[in-house]
Amino acid sequence: MFYDLKNKSLKYDDIFLKDVKIQNEEGEIDAQDTYFLSACDDKLLKELGFAKVKEEEIPSFNEKIEELRQIQTYDEENNLYIISYEIKEKALEELKELKLEELKAIKEEKLLFMPFKNTIFQIDTEAKINISGKVSEIMLA
């Protein structure tokens, strides 16, 4: 993979066609030179307007509470385009919402059935609403 300095984009193929003009007896002819970028040294790559890409390994992270950000930088001295990753903790509001959803799921699961003296009772909708209201009231207190 290479970085196109002119277009500021990544180039995934290895072949680059450079437009050139060739002089002959009949005049100028448009032609193309073919370059295999992986075979070019750093100096030639820079002349052609490309840089080698160095991609760092993606670190492991907890998707629930952290987010992964990609950082792209160009090192002009070494003609190297570096893709690195940074782990950032999600915003507090997102984390609160996530925890609230988790608690709601647990509450719903607990309200499906009610065990009593080795017997499991299925709860009807009205009872579920009453119990849910009391649980919410207790949580807010």
Per-residue pLDDT of the chain (141 residues; tens, 9 = 90+): 999 989 899 999 899 988 888 888 888 888 888 999 999 898 999 999 999 999 999 989 888 888 899 999 999 889 999 999 999 988 888 888 888 888 888 877 777 776 767 776 666 777 777 777 777 888 776
Place of tokens 């437009």: 19
Q: What is the Cα–Cα distance from 70 to 52, expressed in whole angstroms?
A: 17
Of 72, 96, 95, the C-alpha closest to 82 is 72
DSSP labels for 52-113? EEEEPPPPP--TTTEEEEEEEEEETTTTEEEEEEEEEEPPHHHHHHHHHHHHHHHHHHHHHE
Of 90, 60, 59, 84, the C-alpha closest to 70 is 84
Residue ranges per structural domain of the chain: 2-89, 92-140
Burial of 135 (0-12, 13-18, 19+ CB in 10 A): middle
Q: Residue 116: CA atoms inside 13 Å, Cβ hemisphere, count?
A: 5
